[in-house]
Chain A
Amino acid sequence: MALARFLQISDLHLGAPLGWLPAERREARRRDQRHALERAVREAIERGAHAILIAGDLFDQEGVDAATLTFALDAFNVPGCPPVFIAPGNHDPYSPTSLYWSERMLRARAARWPEHVHVFASPAWEARPIAALQGVRIWGRCFTSHVESTERPLAAAALAAITGGESTGFDLGLFHGSRESHCPPGQKITAPFSDAEATASPFAYLAVGHYHAASRLRADEGAAAGVRLAYAGSAAAVNAGEVGAHGALEVRIEHGRRQPFVEIELVELDRRRVHDVTADVDRAASADQIDRRVQRAIDDAGAGENDIVTVRLTGRLARGVRYAGPSPELRARVFHLRLDLRKLRPDYDLDLYRGADPTTTEERFARALIEQLDGEKDPLQRAVIESALYYGLDAFRLREVTPGYEELEA
C-alpha cells in the first residue's frame, strides 16, 4: 500500500477589500492572509505532501494589486515546494485576459507562475499526473466567469471523459462548487452538486472550494472509502461571520491493491480566531454597563487580543439609554469587535399594551402598531413597524426621538 498526501486549501480571497474591517486593521488582515498561504506551503513541505490543491478563489477579484499578485507568484517559489494545482473559482475565474492566470498577460508584466504550479484553464475536467505518485491523476476544472453557474460539475455527462485510471492509482477531483442543501448563510449556490453525485463520481476524493466553513462527506462505497469530499473552508476568515478555526486540510489517501481509503486532518493556518458570542444587556442603565457586560462575554468566550469577535447584544435597555457603540478601550481588547444590535430592544413592555383595554392615545398607538406587527410577514416591513413603535413610545415617554432602531431584526 502507498500513501499519498495532499494539502488542500481554498477561498483565501487574496486582495479582498475587507471593507467590514476598520481601515487601520485591513492591512494587518491582508498580512494574515499572506501569512496563511506561506504557512500552507511550509506545512506542505514539512508534512511531505505530494501536491498542494487549491480549490478556487485564491484571489478575491480580477484587479488585485501588484503587490498581492507578486506575493502570490512568489509564494510557491520555495525550495522543496511540491506541485501546486489550482482550480480557479467564481471569484477568480480563468480567462485568456486574466491578469493573474493568463501566461501571456503575465509575460506582458514580466511575471509568470513557477513551473511546478499548474492552473486548470478549462471548464471541462482535465487531468494532470503527479510524477511522484504512479497512477494518480489530479482532475480539475475552472470557472470562466464571475456569474453564478448552474452547470453541474459532477453530473454524469460532465464526468464522461474520466476514464482509463490505473488500478493501483486513483483519481482526485479539484474544483469549486456548491454542495446542495449545505450552503452556509450568506453564500450563493454556484456549480451545484448533490451528495449522490459526489458519491457516484469516479473520484476517490473531491477537494472542493467555495464554502467558507469546513465540511466533509463520508462514503464507504464507490471509488474510495472514508472521506469522499471535503471543503477546507476559507484558509483565513474572510469576514466576521466565519466562526471558528480556519486553515487547510491534510488529505491522506492509502491506495494500492485495494480500495483507496481517505482521511483528512485540519491544519490551522489563520492566526486569528473568529468568535460569535451573545451578551445579555437586559436592564443595562448606561453605556458603561453595556460595555462591561460585553467585556464579560468576550472574556467568557476566551477571546484574546488577536481575535475577531462578534457580540450579539440581547435584552431590553433601560428607557432613555442610547448605545452608540463600544468604547475605545473595549475595542482595543480584541483585534476587531463587531456588535450586533439587532436583538436589542428598549425597555417597553409590549405585553402590557397587548393586554389592557387601550384608553389613551399612547396605548392605542402601541396597540395599533403591535397589531400591524403581528400581521406583517415581511421581515423588513416588520422591522420598520417595530422601529416606528419604539420611536412613538420614545416620543410619548421621553419626549425625545433619536435614531437608533434601524438595526432591529424582526
Chain B
Amino acid sequence: MKLRRLKVDGFGALKGEFFFSPEHVALIVDDNERGKSTLLAAIAAALYGLDGDRRTHRLVTPRDRWRPWDGGPYRVELDVQVSGEDFCIARDFARDTVAIWNTRGQEVTAEFREGKDEYPVGKRWTGLDADEFAKCALVGQNELDAVVPVDEKSRRGSTLHARLENAADTRVGDTNATEAIRVIEIALRKYTCPEVESSGTIDTALARLETKRGLLDTELRALEHDFAGIAEPLDALVGLVEEERTVREGLQRLDGERSNALASDARRQLADDRLRRDELARLVAEADAAASAAHLEPNTEAEFREVVARYEEAARGLQALEERRREELAREREKRGSELGELARHADRTAADADRCVAVAAELRRIAEDDASTRTAVFTLREALARQGHDPERIQSLSARFAKRSDAEQRLLRRQNDRALVYQTEVAQLEQMRTGSTEVLREIDALRNRWRLPGWFLTALGLAAALAGVVVQILNGLPVLWTSLLAAGATLLILGLGLLMAGARARAAERAASLRQLSEAQRRLHQMRTDRAEAEVGLAELARAMGYRDQVDLLREWSEYARLMEESAPALRAQEQLATIEARRRQAMEAARALVAADTTGGGERATIEPADLERVAQDIRRALALQQRLVDLETGWEWMAEERRVAEAAATGLKDRAVRILHTAGLAYDPSLSWAEHTRELAERAQAQARHALLTGELIPQAEGRVLAAGRAAELEHQLRAIETERVEAAGAEGAASRAPLEIEAEGRRLREALDQLQKRRTDLRLEVEEVLRRYQTEHPDKTAQRERIDQALLRARRFKAAADLAKETIASVATETHRRWADYLNQRVTQLLGAFGARVEQLRFGDDLDFSVKLWNGQQVARGRADLQLSAGAKDQLYLAVRLAIAEFLSRGQSPLPLLLDDPFATSDDERARAGMKLLIEHFAPLHQIIVLTCHRRRYAALAQMDEALYAERVRIFEIKTTGANAAT
C-alpha cells in the first residue's frame, strides 16, 4: 500500500494537502508542535476512521480529540495505491460519512463495509486493524522516550521487554502471554459456585462440591436404607391386621351371647307389665265411677257451712243501715233551705254573670287609665305645636279647605311638583336624541346622493349608447359598431343601475334605526307636553273652584297645607284616640248598668256605676250558686250510706252465690224451696265420695302406673326383642352357642377389648413408624435427588472449567516460549543488522527466550538490559528502539502488502553521524520495500544531510514543508 495524497480540511490544528511519491522517501519538515503527529493521526484516521463511542472512551473520544479547534470542516481525503490500483478515501467526521472511489471513479464504499456501519479500509488492504497498523506503521516520537523510561517505576511497568512481549504475543490485544496466563489464573482463583456458596479458588469449589455430593449421597443412601427397612414393619403391620380381625370376630360372638340374654330379660319384663296393666285398669274404672265427686274440694262442706252463716248475718245488717240514712237526710235539708232564701234575687244568675261583672269592672278601670294618659299626651303635643309657631286656626282653615277635596283633585295637586321636574329632565334628553337622529339621517341622505349622481349619469349614458346601437342597426351600419354600442350601452346601464341600487340601500338599517329613534323622541315630547297642558288646565279649574286667584296661589297654599299636615299629625292622632276611649267608656257603662239592674240592694237606676259595685254583685251571685250546689250535694252526700248498703247487699249476695256455687261445684242443684240445713246434709254425702276418688287417683292408680313399663320402654323392649330375634334368624349358627351368664360375657368382652386396644396401639405405633419413614423418604428423596443433580452439574461445570482453563494456560505457556524463541532469533539477527547500519555503539544485541535482552557494547563489554539502560545514551536507546520497531514491523507484515512506515523524528536524539546513517539505512534498505514518511522539525539538520548525500537525497527523497495555507511544497 502506498500513500499518494492527503488532503486535510480540518483535523486538529492541521489543514492542507500533502502529495507523496511512493518511489521516494517523504521528508516532511515542520516547526515543532505544528502538526507533524497530527498528520500521522490523520493518515490513520483516513484509513480506519475515528471512534466516537463514549462507552469505550469515557474521557475524550478520538473523534472529539481531533475535532478542529476553529470549529470548521472536519474532513480528510487520502489517495492510496494498492496493488496497482488507485483509491480515494474521503471521510467527513463532522457528518460521519465515508466514501471510497476507485480509479474509474466508481464508488466502492460498500465493499469495505464491516459490521453495522464501519469501514476499516486499511484493514482490507494491510490485513491489520487500526491498533495493529499503529503498532507496525506509526513510530511516534513520544514512544521513543517511553521505551526505557527514566524513572524506575515507569520502567518496571512498561519496559521494552513488555512491549516486545505484547508485540510477540498478540496482534490486537495489549495483553501478553504472561498477562493472559495471569488473567486465567485469576479466573481460577475467583471461581463463583452458587451451589456451595463459594467464590474462592476452583479447587476449593471442587472440594466443596465433592464434599456436598458425598453428603447428599450419604443422605440419599440413608433414606433409601430406611425406606428399604420398612418392609419388615410392614409385614408386622399386616400380621397385626390379621390378629385384630380375629379379636374383632371374638367380640362379635360375645355380642351374640349378650343379645340372647337381653331377649329373655325383655320377654320377662313384658309379661310382668301385662299383669300390672290389668290391675291399673280396675282401679281406673273405680276412679271413673267416683269421678263425679272428684272435683269436690276436701273442705267444701265446712266452707259451705261458714258461708251460709255469714249470709244470714249480712241480711240483718242491711235493714239497720236503711233506717239511719232516712233520719240524717231530713235534718240537713232544713238547715240549707233557710240560707238560700236570703239570696233569692240571684237565684237565676249563673257563674258566667259573675265573671262578666268582674270583667266589666276591670274594663272600666282600664278606660279610666287610658283616658288620663291620652289627655296628657294631647296637651303636650298641642303645647309643642304652639311653641313651633303653628296657628291652630290656620291649620283648621287649611284642613277645612283641602281635606274635603276629592281624591283625584288631591292626586292632581300632589303630582304637580313631580311632573314639572320630570318634564324639565326628559325634554332635554329627547331634544338631544331628536337632533342626533336628524343629523344621522342627513348624513345618510348625502351619502346616497353621492352614489345616485354617477348612477343616473351612467344609466343615461348606457341608454344613449344602446339607443345609438339600435339606430345604427336599423340603419344597417357596421355590425361591429352597433354590437359594440349595444354592449357598451348594456354595460353602462347595468353599472348605472347598480350604483343607483347601491345608493338606495346604503346604510339602510342605520337610517331606519335613526328614523325610529326620531319618531319615538317626537312622540314622547308630544305626550309630555299634552300631559303638562292637561294638568295646568285642571289646576286652573280647581283654583277657580276653590276661590284662588290662579293656580300658583293654589299650589302655594297646598304646599303649606301639606307641610302643616305632616308636622301636626301626632297631635291629631292623639285627639282621635281620646274620641275612641270615650266611646269605649260609654259602651262599658251600658253593660255595667245591665248587670247591676237586677240587684235590689243597688238602689235602682244610677248615672255612674263604680267597678266596686260590680264586684260586690259578682260576689253575691257566687254565694247563691254555692248554696244551690251544697243542696244538691246534700242529696248526693248520703251516697256513702247507699254505698255501704250496696256493699252489704253485695256481700250478702256474694255469700249466697258462693253457697250456691259450692253446691254446684259439689254436683248439687240449689233448690230455694229447701232450707240451707237440708242443702248442708246433701253436701256431706258428696264429700265422702270425693275422699275415695282422691285416694284412688292420688295414690292407688299412680302406684299401679309406676309399676307398669313406660310406653317407650315397652316399645323399645319389643323392638329390641324383634331385632334380636331377627339377628338370630340371620346368624342361625350363633343360636347354638352355649349361653353364658352376662357377667361372664362382660368379662370376656373386657378381655377382648383390651386385647383389641393393645393391637390397635401396636398397629398405630408401627404405622406411625412406617409413615414417618415414608414421609421422610417422599419429602426428602426427590429434593435431595434434584439437589444432587444440580451439584453434579455444578461439579461437571467446575471440572470442565478447570480442565479448559488449565489447558489454555498450559498451551499459552508452551506456545509463548516457542514464539518468544522465534522472535528472539529473528530480532537478534535483524536488530543487530539495523543497529550496525545506524552506526550505533551497540555491537550486538541478544534477546533471550523470555524476550529480555542483553547488549554487547562497542568495547566488547556484555551487559544485561538493566545496566545497558543506564549505560546507553538517549540517542543510542532511541536507535535501539527504532531498530526493534522496524524489525517488528517487518516481522508482523511478512507475507502481506508492505506497509508505509511513518516515522516521527526518529533521530531527534541522535548525533548527526548516526542521524545520517539512520536516514541512509531508511532510504537505501527500507524505502525500496516500504514507503517511508519521515516527519521532523530539524530543518537545518536534514538540509545539511541532503547536501552531504546530495545524489542520494536528490534521487530518493522529497522534502515538504507544512505551510499554514495547507499546501506543501517539494524542494
Contacts and interface: CB of A to CB of B under 8 A. Distances in A.
Partners in one complex: yes
B171 A363 contact: yes
B231 A97 contact: yes
How many residues of B sit at the interface, in one of the four size bands? Answer: 35 or more
B803 A396 contact: no
B815 A364 contact: yes
A368 B811 contact: yes
A108 B238 contact: yes
Contacts of B238: 104-105, 107-108
A399 B175 contact: yes
Contacts of B774: 63, 66, 99
A326 interface: no
A109 B238 CA distance: 9
Given A108-B234, A368-B815, A384 B803 contact: yes
Contacts of B172: 362, 396-397
A388 interface: yes
Interface stretch (A180-188, A263-271, A401-409): A401-409
Contact of A388 (B177, B811, B819): B811
Contact of B187 (A362, A368, A384, A391): A391
B175 A397 contact: yes
A390 to B, nearest CB: 8
Interface in B221-266: 227, 231, 234, 237-238, 241
B819 A360 contact: yes
A299 interface: no
A66 B800 CA distance: 40
A108 to B, nearest CB: 4
A99 B171 CA distance: 69
A357 interface: yes
A395 B169 CA distance: 12
Interface residues of A, number: 46
Interface centre among B167, B174, B192, B786 (most CB of A within 10 A): B786
A384 B796 CA distance: 11
Interface centre among A104, A383, A401, A402 (most CB of B within 10 A): A401
Contact of A405 (B168, B171, B790, B804): B804
Contacts of A151: none
Interface centre among B241, B778, B892 (most CB of A within 10 A): B778
B237 A401 contact: no
B786 A396 contact: no
A365 B815 contact: yes
Contacts of A364: 815, 818-819
Q: Mostly helix, strand, loop or mixed at chain B's interface? A: helix
B170 A360 contact: yes
Interface in A205-245: none
Contacts of B778: 15, 63-66
A396 B173 contact: yes
B819 to A, nearest CB: 4
Interface in B749-781: 767, 770-771, 774-775, 777-779, 781
B187 A396 contact: no
Nearest to A391: B808
A395 B812 CA distance: 10
B191 interface: yes
Nearest to A405: B804
Contacts of B234: 97, 105, 108
B176 interface: yes
B808 A392 contact: yes
B891 A359 contact: yes
Nearest to A380: B800
Contacts of A357: 894-895
B531 interface: no
A201 interface: no
A406 B796 contact: yes
A395 B774 CA distance: 52
Contacts of A108: 234, 237-238, 241, 767, 770
B724 interface: no
Interface string A302-338: 0000000000000000000000000000000000000
A364 B797 CA distance: 27
Contacts of B227: 62-63
Contacts of A369: 807-808, 811
B775 A66 contact: yes
A314 to B, nearest CB: 19
A403 B797 CA distance: 9
A297 interface: no
Interface centre among B231, B785, B811 (most CB of A within 10 A): B811
A107 B241 contact: yes
Contacts of B782: 17, 19
A385 B810 CA distance: 12
Nearest to A399: B175
Interface in B178-203: 179-181, 183-184, 186-187, 191-192
A388 B227 CA distance: 45
Given A107-B241, A108-B241, A359-B892, A392 B184 contact: yes
Contact of B179 (A17, A99, A360, A399): A399
B805 interface: yes
Contacts of B815: 361, 364-365, 368
Contact of B184 (A97, A362, A389, A395): A395
A361 B169 contact: yes
A88 B895 CA distance: 72
Interface in A57-101: 62-66, 97, 99
Interface string A350-374: 0000000101111111001100000
A140 B657 CA distance: 107
Interface in B298-322: none
A396 B804 CA distance: 15
Contacts of B785: 17, 19
B729 to A, nearest CB: 30
B797 A406 contact: yes
Nearest to A404: B801
Interface in B5-20: none
A392 B775 contact: no
Contacts of A288: none
B789 interface: yes
B694 interface: no
A400 interface: yes
B170 A384 contact: no
Contacts of A391: 184, 187, 804-805, 808
Contacts of A10: none
Nearest to A403: B801
Contact of A360 (B171, B781, B814): B171
A387 interface: yes
Contacts of A64: 778
A364 B176 CA distance: 13
Contacts of B170: 360-362, 396-397
Nearest to B805: A391
B932 interface: no
B919 interface: no
A19 B789 contact: yes
Contact of B183 (A63, A107, A361, A401): A401
B816 interface: yes
Given A17-B785, A361-B177, A406-B800, A401 B805 contact: yes
A64 B779 CA distance: 9
Nearest to A387: B804
B65 to A, nearest CB: 23
B241 A401 contact: no
14 contacts: A66-B771, A360-B168, A360-B819, A361-B169, A368-B815, A384-B804, A388-B811, A392-B812, A394-B183, A395-B181, A396-B170, A399-B174, A403-B192, A407-B797
Given A359-B819, A387-B800, 18 more contacts: A17-B783, A19-B782, A62-B227, A65-B778, A97-B231, A359-B891, A360-B170, A360-B171, A361-B819, A362-B169, A368-B814, A384-B803, A391-B804, A395-B180, A395-B183, A396-B175, A406-B797, A407-B797
Q: Which 10 A-B pairs have the closest CB atoms?
A: A19-B786, A17-B782, A387-B804, A401-B187, A361-B169, A395-B180, A388-B807, A65-B778, A392-B808, A362-B170
